[in-house]
């Protein structure tokens, strides 16, 4: 970074920060800061994860928690409303009318709550020159409404849930929120192509593919294999992770007399159902639900795994995993992986080359692949070596997030001078944007 050159200040709009299940966002922020960007985090919610560890304490960016409920911080909200109205006048009224019409949110209460958060964001963002939202849901809604009010440019990183759950990738509401973005990030080629196809001619923002990366220094390849035949898995206990299929495969391994132990790290709404499946399958002695772990402890857990398994499926509501970070981390450390043959995942894992792929929902195929890796040391070594090469070549966080940094820098360089922006925002808002 060139000394003496003022760097733009970027506002990161997030639903909750920090969040244990979104360490990929934390890693992105840390890497961008390491590369010299000045960030300010705006979080719609306060953290709820008790297992969040000290990794987030390394973040240098100030964190502003926007008011979650109007009645909890009424003075702050009134001050923001008055300040934004005085400064932007008609643009404020036009954006409020847009919210009252319910074009994006059917719930007026929720719409007004998000509008109040938007006004606090605009009123309190100071010298922020660009907003970047993670997830094309409420964070992007706030960024787009801030753009309607004060013309601040914004960009968006999309993920799996905000695109595929409920087929949102094809929804007019999603296209509306993305319509004015300077650029859009997809974390897989599959998602990028789905966005471009869904947009047709409606959205002009360029779509870039930037993979969530792995800090190779933090995930060095292990030097020795563990002795114990441990199958490790990790993720939120939800349908798309396929943990029910993993337990079904464990029942088959037990039936076949294969020596193994399985541990699943994570919490979620299916915890009770999975625990009941463990009891019903007589797996209490060989399968354990570990619960949440701070990321630092999970990193150490990978060292103990002979095999890492994540048998993802497409959930009933369309939600799915694209490129799970835990797969990349396991591959970086040297734990051979078994996962499922799904679009997106196949951008990471090539069957027989750097991991094993099985059909989604096929418990017998999953059990067979797990047994192969548990018992074949030569295969484990071959797959692990090639998996590490894959991560180094295509999923190095420093390289990948440099691409994002360059896009953010370019976006800020395209912004109009501050006075012109304020004057434009205070006088009018284009009807075509509402």
For residue 53, is the peptide bond before it cis, meaning its omega torsion is within 30 degrees of 0?
A: no
CATH code matching the domain that covers 9-213+397-433, chosen among 3.30.2310.20, 3.40.470.10, 3.40.50.2000, 3.40.630.30:
3.40.50.2000
pLDDT of 122 reads 97
Contact 262, 233 (CB under 8 A): yes
Q: What is the pLDDT along the chain (434 residues), one digit of tens a residue?
A: 444 445 679 999 999 999 888 889 999 999 999 999 999 999 999 987 654 556 788 899 999 999 998 889 999 999 999 999 999 999 999 999 999 988 787 789 999 999 999 999 999 999 999 999 999 999 999 999 999 999 999 999 998 888 888 777 777 778 888 888 999 999 999 999 888 887 765 667 899 999 998 999 999 999 999 999 999 999 999 999 999 999 999 999 999 999 999 999 999 999 999 999 999 999 999 999 999 998 888 999 999 999 999 999 999 998 899 899 999 999 999 999 999 999 899 999 999 999 999 999 999 999 999 999 999 999 999 999 999 999 999 999 999 999 999 999 998 876 544 333 333 333 333 322 32
pLDDT of 6 reads 55
Place of tokens 């074949």: 376
Q: Report the distance separating Cα 160 and Cα 165, nearest Å.
A: 8
SS3 state of residue 130: strand
The pTM assigned to this predicted structure is 0.86
CATH code matching the domain that covers 230-394, chosen among 3.30.2320.50, 3.40.50.2000, 3.40.190.10, 3.50.50.60:
3.40.50.2000
Cβ neighbours, 10 Å, residue 397: 24
pLDDT of 176 reads 81
| Cα 366 to Cα 103, 217, 310, 324, 335, distances in angstroms | 45, 31, 10, 18, 17
Cβ neighbours, 10 Å, residue 30: 20
Parse the chain into domains and list their residue ranges. Answer: 9-213+397-433, 230-394
63, two tokens = 């964190």
Cβ neighbours, 10 Å, residue 260: 22
Stated as kind and residue range, the H or E segment containing 14 is strand 9-16
DSSP string, 307-349: EEEE-----TTS---SS-HHHHHHHHHT--EEEE--TTGGGT-
pLDDT of 164 reads 84
Contact 284, 208 (CB under 8 A): no
Residue of 372, 397, 393, 394 lying closest to 382 (CA atoms): 372
Domains 9-213+397-433 and 230-394 share a fold: yes
pLDDT of 285 reads 96
Burial (Cβ within 10 Å: 0-12, 13-18, ≥19) of residue 304: middle
């Amino acid at each position: 970074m060139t000394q003496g050159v003022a760097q733009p200040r970027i506002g990161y709009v997030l639903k909750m920060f920090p969040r244990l299940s979104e360490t990929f966002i934390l890693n992105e922020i840390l890497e961008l800061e390491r590369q010299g960007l000045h960030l300010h985090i705006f979080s719609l919610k306060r953290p709820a994860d008790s297992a969040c560890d000290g990794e987030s304490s390394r973040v240098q960016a100030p964190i502003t928690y926007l008011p979650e409920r109007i009645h909890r911080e009424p003075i702050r909200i009134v001050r923001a409303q008055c300040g934004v109205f005085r400064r932007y006048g008609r643009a404020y009224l036009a954006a409020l009318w847009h919210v009252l019409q319910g074009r994006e949110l059917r719930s007026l209460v929720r719409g007004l709550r998000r509008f109040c958060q938007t006004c606090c964001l605009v009123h309190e963002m100071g010298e922020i020159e660009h907003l970047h939202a993670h997830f094309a849901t409420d964070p992007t809604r706030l960024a787009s409404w801030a753009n309607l009010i004060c013309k601040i440019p914004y960009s968006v990183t999309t993920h799996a849930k905000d695109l595929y759950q409920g087929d949102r990738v094809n929804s007019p509401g999603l296209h509306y929120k993305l319509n004015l973005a300077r650029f859009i990030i997809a974390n897989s080629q599959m998602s990028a192509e789905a966005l471009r196809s869904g947009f047709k001619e409606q959205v002009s923002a360029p779509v870039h593919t930037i993979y969530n990366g792995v800090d190779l220094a933090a995930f060095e390849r292990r030097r020795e294999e563990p002795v114990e035949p441990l199958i490790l898995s990790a993720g939120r206990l939800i349908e798309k992770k396929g943990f029910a299929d993993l337990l079904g495969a464990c029942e088959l391994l037990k039936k076949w007399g294969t020596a193994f132990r399985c541990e699943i790290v994570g919490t979620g709404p299916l915890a009770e159902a999975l625990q009941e499946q463990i009891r019903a399958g007589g797996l209490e002695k060989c399968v354990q639900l570990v619960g949440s772990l701070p990321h630092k402890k999970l990193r150490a857990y990978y060292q103990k795994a002979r095999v890492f398994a994540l048998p993802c499926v497409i959930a009933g509501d369309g939600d799915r995993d694209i490129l799970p970070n835990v797969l990349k981390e396991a591959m970086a450390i040297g734990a051979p992986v078994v996962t499922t043959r799904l679009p997106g995942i196949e951008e990471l894992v090539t069957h027989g080359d750097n991991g094993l792929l099985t059909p989604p929902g096929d418990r017998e195929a999953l059990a067979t692949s797990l047994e192969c890796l548990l018992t074949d040391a030569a295969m484990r070594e071959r797959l692990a070596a090639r998996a590490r090469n894959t991560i180094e070549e295509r999923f190095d966080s420093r390289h990948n997030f440099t691409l994002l940094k360059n896009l953010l820098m370019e976006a800020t360089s395209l912004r109009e001078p501050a006075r012109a922006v304020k004057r434009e925002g205070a006088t009018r808002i284009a009807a075509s944007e509402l």
